Copies of this chain bind each other. A is one copy, B any other.
Amino acid sequence: MNSLSEVAEVIKKARRPLISGHVMPDGDSLGSILALGLGLQTLGQEVTMVSSDPVPDLYTFLPGAEQIVVGKVPPGNYDLFIALDCSVIDRLGKYVESVLNSEITTLVIDHHVNDNPFGHYNYVEPKSAATGQIVMDLLDLINIEIDNKLAINLYTAIVTDTGSFRYENTTPEVHVKASRLIDLGIPVSKLSNLIFGEQPVESIRLLQVALQSLEISKCGQIAWLSITQEQVQSVGAEDQHVDGLINYPRKIKGVEVAIVFKELNDGMVKVSLRSKYQVDVNLLAKKFGGGGHVRASGCTLKGGLDQAKKLVLTETQNLFRGC
């Protein structure tokens, strides 16, 4: 593992960096890419920002979002590959992953627990609430001024990964950073409306369908939703609309572990896990080859929905007495 100063030195020397986040990009992934990417542009670097998956509609307001190249990575004489919010090669997605076949120097900056990140240089700090929080320190170290565009991207990264300053990862430092970003003039209330206030009709239609599958364990501590591909398609929804669904089983009083089982196109099932106070869902996800954080994690299982539910629910119930 490297220090943030070492990472800053590597980045400073780059001329043509290629920057990527993870598949199914979220606010932290995109905000981090854009804050660092736009920041390095002010130093005169020829920055290329890429994403294997499209930018969700929700985040197209982010300053610079139109610069992110989606899908195939354009050919270029890149001298540094920077992975943000992603320390596992698989999570780069098929388009970006292919870049790693070349002899390019790779640098990983992430806040997800991972003892074995894939970069030549690695800075992984699980104590950070968001990768955007690390990027903000990095910009200071590189001496890049945080202007309004960078501030909006950094704020979005932090506010989304802390659930609007509600999650356990909301440290005093997170609030100090938010304070500084607001001081730079970002429109808090407008951003909150954009990020949390409105939802496309597909999301509500999907919620309508998904809630039909709500199940709660006898003990009331585990609640889950199961969503089929057919259901997603029947309401014209896309993967991006599935993200917020886990909040519904999660917010039921008395529920400790919330789960969403989502059937993917290829017969796989994506499992999202959340816990409130006690259960380490990172450990739980690891049992199925996944991972993440203590309170938020995920994994992907082969076989149909029924099999995935059986396996994961059995393992989850084992964590509770008589559940």
Contact = CB atoms under 8 A, between A and B. Distances in A.
Interface of A: 159, 163-168, 170-176, 178-180, 182-183, 188-190, 192-193, 196-201, 204-205, 207-208, 211-212, 214, 216, 220, 248-254, 276-277, 295
Given A165-B178, A166-B189, A204 B197 contact: no
In the complex this chain forms, how many copies of it are found? Answer: 2
Given A178-B175, A179-B176, A204-B251, A170 B198 contact: no
B175 A182 contact: yes
Given A175-B175, A175-B179, A251 B197 contact: yes
6 contacts: A164-B166, A168-B189, A172-B180, A197-B250, A198-B252, A199-B251
A201 B168 contact: no
A188 B214 CA distance: 28
Contacts of A190: 277
B175 A192 contact: no
A170 B189 CA distance: 8
B182 A172 contact: yes
A275 to B, nearest CB: 10
A190 B174 CA distance: 17
Contacts of A212: 208
A193 B198 CA distance: 21
Contacts of A188: 165-168, 170
A253 B201 contact: yes
A251 B252 CA distance: 20
A76 B144 CA distance: 62
A175 B173 CA distance: 10
B277 A200 contact: no
Nearest to A173: B179
Contacts of A172: 179-180, 182-183
Given A204-B248, A208-B214, A166 B182 contact: no
Contacts of A249: 204
Nearest to A176: B179
Contact of A201 (B170, B175, B205, B220): B220
A220 B252 CA distance: 30
A166 B197 contact: yes
